[in-house]
């Protein structure tokens, strides 16, 4: 089973694709999609769409996992911007007929670290440990996306 986690952002969207087989998780591909802040919103969203679509074309993805959208009173514009990028991912899932799952950030942290209020560093460390990664040079956008995909694996009936 191939699970794609997407950490949406207008400036940087992180993604992580893992394969779950039996009790094993394997990293297939991970990276970021960066957009140019000088470009229009439409151009930037098109870039995210095209890059994600390429991932869908290269792999037979079974499930996509996104972080549930929530608005913070101090940063309402952030939710607005994330909504656009999330919409791109939701549209692709619908077009490709791929199941879409959403989790709250606290659920992801709880599933991956065991603490719903874990730091980004703790989440990153557990992603490296669980996937057996030697390099510690993945940025938070990537490890957050991988954590989303891992959460799906950890919360399904066949827990790892």
For the segment 31-74, what is each residue's pLDDT rounded down to a tens digit? 999 999 999 999 999 999 999 999 999 999 999 999 887 666 67
Instruction: Fold for 2-155, please state it.
Output: Nucleotidyltransferase; domain 5 (3.30.420)
CA-angle at 92, arms to 61 and 12, nearest 5° = 90
The answer to whether 50 is a known catalytic residue is no
- pLDDT-derived band at 99 (thresholds 50, 70, 90) equals very high
Q: Is the pTM for the entire model greater than 0.85?
A: yes
CA 141 to CA 42: how far, in whole Å?
22
Question: Is residue 159 predicted with pLDDT exceeding 60?
Answer: no
pLDDT at 82: 83
Is 141 annotated in the active site? yes
Q: What is the pLDDT of residue 43?
A: 97
Of 29, 54, 62, 67, the active-site residue reads 67
Which one of 26, 141, 144, 157 is the catalytic residue? 141
Every domain of the chain and the residues it spans? 2-155
pLDDT for residue 136 is more than 70: no
């Amino acid at each position: 089973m191939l699970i794609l986690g997407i950490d949406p952002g207008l400036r940087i969207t992180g993604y992580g694709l893992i394969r779950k087989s039996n009790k094993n998780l394997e990293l297939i591909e991970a990276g970021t999609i960066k957009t140019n802040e000088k470009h229009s919103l439409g151009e930037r969203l098109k870039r995210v769409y095209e890059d994600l679509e390429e991932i869908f074309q290269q792999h037979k993805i079974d499930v996509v996992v996104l972080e549930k959208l929530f608005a913070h009173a101090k940063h309402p514009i952030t939710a607005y911007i994330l909504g656009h990028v999330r919409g791109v991912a939701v549209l692709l899932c619908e077009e490709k007929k791929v199941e879409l799952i959403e989790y709250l950030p606290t659920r992801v942290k709880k599933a991956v670290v065991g603490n719903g209020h874990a730091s980004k560093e703790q989440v990153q460390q557990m992603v490296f440990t669980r996937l057996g990664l030697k390099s510690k040079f993945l940025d938070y956008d990537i490890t957050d996306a991988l954590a989303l995909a891992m959460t799906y694996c950890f919360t399904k009936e066949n827990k790892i």
